[in-house]
Amino acid sequence: MPEKAPESVITILLVDDSVPTRENIKKLLSFERDLKVVGMAGTGIEGIALARELKPDIIIMDINMPDMDGLEATTKIVDSAPSTGIIILSAQDDSNYMRRSMLAGAKAFLTKPSSPDEIYNTVRAVHKRAPVLQPSMGELNRPVDPTRTGAGHIVVVYSPQGGAGCTTIATNLAAGLMRDGVRVLLVDGNLQFGDVGVFLNLKPQSTILELVEDVEDLDTDYFENSLAAHNSGLKVLMGPQRPEEAEKAMVDPLVVSKIINKVRWNYDFIVVDTSLHLDEMTLSLFDIATRIVLVSTPTLASVKNIRSVLDLFDQLHYPHEKITMILNRVSKDPHIKKLLLSSEQISNFLKRKVEMSIPADDMVVLEAVRKGIPVVSSQRDRTKSPIKELLEFANFIYAALVPEPVEKAPSQPIKKVTSKLEWGRS
């Protein structure tokens, strides 16, 4: 019979086909008073059965096991016991495994061997995550400065595929949302290899690293001083300058979400660029997002990855309207076009509307990057592709998030839109 644990104790089920590994982890966990192993299983199928019976807070799951692997078992447990947090402990330190684990519904990914502290901290963090990231975000939702109330929309731009144009879309969305009286902040949420600085030619005096220590009592002025300002007036919170510095910021995977929540009501829109890693940091950004923009390209590989991400969003019970699909790098060459998926095909396959297709135009996009300005403000002719589509997309997001006044106003001029926002606030 399983032993009963007192309530303040985190109950853990170990699923691993190697007996020595299980015994080792059990022993490690026994040193901590708040952690208790309540059961052990040697196969995926046994793991599912025990998860159902014991309803542990946490499962530490191996990937390679006889009968059913840990990823499949994870998917099944997430469906039947969604309150259990699953941590994958894999022998392979492979980002592909990590992504697949997260897509299966795991909350964290560790590689063997992990240090005792890594295991303890991860178990506690995953256990804590559920209540911390409820939509209300409780304490975290308190505005820094209650006298400044923006609309507080958080738009997270994500692509599971590198090079699809996540940073391009995020940067241009932020720039395209700017208008008189509307406060927009762009956050580089790709801490390790963020490109926002390159795209906008910004050399930051300070970055997110300066905020990490003070995140609990962040001061508005201090925060504003940590931002880089682009010539266009766009404010940017930059990531660390060097990849190895990212680790300092990522000690707390919720740090970017916490910062954003603190300053949220100082802005009307906070646009967040993300890395393709579905780690806890990116997941926490999804949780706090008002809207997630999913960027795909018209290739089979890209669309297949998007499909997995949409499955994940379903598992997280995100409402349909929280997600907007955008297709980038759509070739204008009819010969190439024939080899790629059409927007309709993608729509049918994903059962989701593709809100906008952005044409590929190397000249315009590269020229903008070279000049360090957003594509949407790089040329005078705003009817030219892909400027036109990028602006249309920003207007779409704006209209979708900012409530219309009672009498239906046609979608257009800057002045009118501004007053709409004021109206929404009063």
Ligand X SMILES: Nc1ncnc2c1ncn2[C@@H]1O[C@H](COP(=O)(O)OP(=O)(O)O)[C@@H](O)[C@H]1O
Counting contacts by CB under 6 A, is residue 362 touching ligand X?
yes
Tally of CB atoms within 10 A around 196: 25
Residue number, 41 or 173, with CB nearest to ligand X: 173
Please report the DSSP string for 349-400 in residue order.
HHTS-EEEEEEP-HHHHHHHHHHTS-GGGS-S-TTSTTHHHHHHHHHHHHHH
Residue number, 140 or 173, with CB nearest to ligand X: 173
Query: Cα separation of 395 and 392, whole Å?
Result: 5
**Residue 360 binds which one of ligand X, Mg ion, none, with CB within 5 to 8 A depending on kind?**
ligand X
Interface residue with Mg ion among 43, 167, 172, 296 (CB under 5 A) is: 167
Secondary structure class of 37 (helix, strand, coil)? strand
Tally of CB atoms within 10 A around 3: 10
Counting contacts by CB under 6 A, is residue 159 touching ligand X?
yes
Counting contacts by CB under 6 A, is residue 65 touching ligand X?
no
Interface residue with ligand X among 163, 233, 403, 413 (CB under 6 A) is: 163
CB-based burial, 80-101: b 16+ in 10 Å, e otherwise: ebeebbbbbbbeeeeeebbbbb
Query: Cα separation of 414 and 178, whole Å?
Result: 10
Query: Cα separation of 48 and 39, whole Å?
Result: 12
**Residue 227 binds which one of ligand X, Mg ion, none, with CB within 5 to 8 A depending on kind?**
none
Beta strands 58-61 and 10-15 are parallel
Say if CB 337 and CB 135 are below 8 A apart. Answer: no
- The length of the chain, given as a count of residues: 426
3-state secondary structure 154-192: EEEEECCCCCCCHHHHHHHHHHHHCCCCCCEEEEEECCC
Interface residue with ligand X among 48, 191, 238, 365 (CB under 6 A) is: 365
For residue 92, the minimal CB distance to ligand X (Å) is 24
Say if CB 313 and CB 162 are below 8 A apart. Answer: no
Residue number, 74 or 168, with CB nearest to ligand X: 168
Interface residue with ligand X among 164, 196, 249, 255 (CB under 6 A) is: 164
The interface with ligand X within residues 169-198 (CB under 6 A) comprises 195
Query: Cα separation of 290 and 213, whole Å?
Result: 26
Query: Cα separation of 184 and 265, whole Å?
Result: 11
Interface residue with ligand X among 187, 208, 246, 360 (CB under 6 A) is: 360
Task: Kindly state the number of chain residues that form the binding site for ligand X, as judged by CB under 6 A.
Answer: 19
Q: Which one of 17-25, 85-93, 166-174, 202-210 is the stretch in contact with Mg ion (CB under 5 A)?
A: 166-174
Residue number, 167 or 297, with CB nearest to Mg ion: 167
Q: 292: closest CA among 337, 324, 317, 244?
A: 324
Q: Which one of 180-188, 202-210, 229-237, 360-368 is the stretch in contact with ligand X (CB under 6 A)?
A: 360-368
**Residue with the CB atom nearest Mg ion in the bound state:** 167
Interface residue with ligand X among 86, 89, 126, 166 (CB under 6 A) is: 166
For residue 309, the minimal CB distance to ligand X (Å) is 13
Counting contacts by CB under 5 A, is residue 171 touching Mg ion?
no
**Residue 298 binds which one of ligand X, Mg ion, none, with CB within 5 to 8 A depending on kind?**
none
In the block, which residue shows the tokens 């019976």?
53
Q: Which one of 15-23, 177-185, 300-308, 361-369 is the stretch in contact with ligand X (CB under 6 A)?
A: 361-369
The interface with Mg ion within residues 193-232 (CB under 5 A) comprises 195
Task: Kindly state the number of chain residues that form the binding site for Mg ion, as judged by CB under 5 A.
Answer: 3
Binding residues (CB under 5 A) for Mg ion: these are 166-167, 195
Binding residues (CB under 6 A) for ligand X: these are 159, 162-168, 195, 328-329, 358, 360-362, 365-366, 369, 386
